[in-house]
Amino acid sequence: MSAPSSPTRPSQGSPSQRSPGKTSPLRSSRENSAAPPSPPKSPPKPGVVGPREWEKSLTVKCRLCGGPKCRRCSESAALAKPTSPVTGLHADWATDSMLGMMRPSSRLFQAYRIVEQFQRLKIKAVFNLTLPGEHPYCGDGLVASGFPYDPETDLMAHNIQCYNFGWEDMTTPTLAFMVDLVKVMTGVLSCANQKLAVHCHAGFVYAMPSIHDRFTLHEMAEREGRQYIHSLRSTLGIAPPRVVSFLCKSLEAAAAAASPNAQSLCMIYVTHLPATSDGSMASHFEHMKGLLGTDSDVPPLGQAMVVAADELWPHKVKMNTGEFSDIPPECVGGLLLDWLEHLQVPIVQHPKVVLATGAAFNALPLLTLRTLECIFNLTRTLLTKLLSEHTHATASTTATICDAVVGRTTMACLQLSAGAAKPYFSKVRHLLDTWTCPKPLPLNDGRIAELNLAPVDAAGRFDSPMDRGAVGHGSYS
């Protein structure tokens, strides 16, 4: 099922296979001879939701749900949860931006002003995972759309998008179906501060796919540690996440290959919109103005180098499945910035640490420092390559782009807008010039060799000259 490209009237779900009835051939022939032939049914109009004949076996099950007092989608079920974030619906936040809820009805929309609650919660889209005609006897029943509510009048008339990705109740959809669903959900969530609601029949969030989960740097390291437990990855908690290392090295290699040239790569990096942007032209202009200043020659160049989010999506899908390859150079910078800005906690959680002394900066967790080292090395490579290509005529533009590269890196590490991150640009530039990541203490090779050669007594203790003074004082008891 292809994903809807725009919030038009939801598409009708395809009816599932019906099991053949058990009737005798004689009875069937008499019925067929007596009944006049029924006229052929006209196919449903594209883009129009209509009722459908529901399976008889499921209709029987539906009657056992409780009818108007349905335990899953009735008003009484909604009021049984006083802590619901939406009054009048049984609902829970599955993530910070996705609400799982029971199926609403037109009456509940009116009685509890649910649309106003959605707007207050910044819910911009509703995903309906039921098929038209499903559970016709539950709750408030169905209206002409085949659902308990009319998607157009109850939602879309109030600028709330509605998508119907229905699959048969109590079944598992195909992987291709889920990929389509996740793609559309991600498109909604990619706009700043937008949230969505998902409902099936019950609203117990069983049907909601776990997507767009935010994670911390430490959680990512633990996940990779479990994934690569049998590999040579013995530096868990010390090496940066694999995705950061891969993207940084890929962008460094692209800059070294000069295809595209360093200025183009840097402009793509700089003009990539942060996660806090709403994607409008106005926000794009403000972003570029905050990084590139008032130079009238630079912004048009930046506008021409923007890589759309749709171009990054297929590569994100592949990387989520562990496939790190065949990524165009112009997409690498945006993937890195999106990953950094998707972290639940910024790499540098407290921006004032950037302004502190070197000792305070080095007090950050070692995993954070290793990740920052990888990002800073990439930034240094971009700046070095950019400066090596400039001429006397382009010196001013090159300096502006260099400052913008530093600024965009700062924004991603602090998860701040250009205006909020600007006070930290100069300090990060100073760190790029002077800071090196602390190295682990060197191993005492002499001591290790001595322990390897020292004899072991009957109790399993090393009999070395350095240990003899300790034995008898309780140190090895």
CATH number for the domain spanning 400: value is 1.10.555
Q: Are residues 239 and 146 in the same domain?
A: no
Q: How many domains does the chain have?
A: 3
Residue 430 shares a structural domain with residue 462 = no
The CB-side HSE value for 60 (13 A sphere, CA atoms) comes to: 2
Query: What pLDDT sits at residue 251?
Result: 94
Q: What is the CATH number of the domain that holds 128?
A: 3.90.190
Q: Is cis: bond before 260, omega within 30 of 0?
A: yes
pLDDT over 80 at 207, yes or no: no
Whether residue 170 is found in the same domain as residue 289: no
Mean pLDDT of 199-218: 59
Spatial distance between the Cα atoms of 469 and 476, rounded to a whole number of angstroms = 11
Q: How far apart are CA 273 and CA 309, in angstroms?
A: 9
Higher pLDDT, 442 or 335: 335
Give residue 475's domain range.
445-477
Residue 26 has pLDDT above 50, yes or no: no
25-39, 226-240, 242-256, 283-297: range with highest mean pLDDT: 242-256
Asked whether residue 374 is domain-assigned, the answer is yes
Provide the pLDDT for residue 404.
94
- Report for 104-108, 182-186, 353-357, 386-390: range of highest mean pLDDT: 104-108
Average pLDDT over residues 25-39: 44
- pLDDT of 153 over the 70 cut: yes
Q: What is the structure's pLDDT at 314? A: 79
> Which of residues 388 and 379 earns the better pLDDT score?
379
3-state SS assignment for residue 91: strand
Lowest mean per-residue pLDDT among 83-87, 229-233, 413-417, 473-477: 473-477
Specify the DSSP element, H or E, that contains 117. Answer: helix 114-120
Query: Token pair of 221, please?
Result: 């390291």
In the predicted model, is pLDDT for residue 393 greater than 80? no
The distance from CA 102 to its chain's CA centroid, rounded to whole angstroms, is: 24
- State the pLDDT at residue 166: 86
Using the 3D structure, point to which of 147, 166, 199 is the last residue of a domain. 199
Most confident of 7-16, 116-125, 314-323: 116-125
Neighbour tally for 232: CB within 10 Å = 6
Could you tell me the pLDDT band of residue 413, with boundaries at 50, 70 and 90? very high
Q: Are residues 87 and 113 in the same domain?
A: yes
pLDDT at 4: 43
Average model confidence (pLDDT) across the chain: 76
pLDDT of residue 252: 93
Looking up tokens 């790499």, which residue turns up? 347
Judged against a pLDDT cut of 70, whether residue 374 lies above it is answered with yes
Same domain, 373 and 455: no
For residue 228, what pLDDT is reported?
55
Over 60: is that where the pLDDT of 73 sits? yes
Using the predicted structure, report yes or no on whether residue 64 has a pLDDT greater than 90: no
Q: Which of 134, 165, 199 is the last residue of a domain?
A: 199
Residue at which a domain ends, from 199, 229, 247: 199
> Amino acid identity of 300?
P
Residue 181 lies in a domain: yes
Rounded Cα distance, 379 and 407, in Å: 10
Q: How confident is the model at residue 426 (pLDDT cuts 50, 70, 90)?
A: very high
Question: 0.95 cut: is pTM over it?
Answer: no
In a domain, 206, yes or no: no
The span from the CA of 384 to the CA of 58, in Å, is 67
pLDDT at residue 459, rounded to an integer: 56
Residue 144 belongs to a domain: yes
Is 12 inside any structural domain?
no
Same domain, 284 and 390: yes
* Residues 328 and 233 reside in one and the same domain: yes
- In a domain? residue 323: yes
Can you tell me which residue has the tokens 């602390």?
438
Among the ranges 82-91, 280-289, 376-385, which has the highest mean pLDDT value? 376-385
Query: Would you place residue 463 in the very low, low, confident or very high pLDDT band (cuts 50, 70, 90)?
Result: low
CA separation for the pair 19, 57 (Å, rounded): 9
Contact 59, 141 (CB under 8 A): no
With b for 16 or more beta-carbon neighbours within 10 A and e for fewer, the 284-320 pattern comes to: beebbebbbeeeeebbebbeebbbebeebeebbeebe
Lowest mean pLDDT among 83-87, 321-325, 433-437: 321-325
Q: Are residues 57 and 163 in the same domain?
A: yes
436, pLDDT greater than 60: yes
Cβ-in-10-Å burial (0-12, 13-18, 19+) of 21 comes to exposed
Contacts of 470 (CB under 8 A, 6+ apart): 476
| pLDDT level of residue 116 (50, 70, 90 thresholds) | very high
375 and 228 in a common domain = yes
Cβ(154)–Cβ(109) under 8 Å?
yes
- The answer to whether residues 113 and 152 belong to one domain is yes
Are residue 268 and residue 395 in the same domain, yes or no? Answer: yes
State whether 418 and 458 are in the same domain.
no
Query: Residue 1: which pLDDT band, with cuts at 50, 70 and 90?
Result: very low
pLDDT tops 70 at residue 146? yes
Examine residue 208 and state whether it is found in any structural domain, yes or no.
Answer: no
- What's the mean pLDDT in 146-152? 93
Is residue 1 in a domain? no
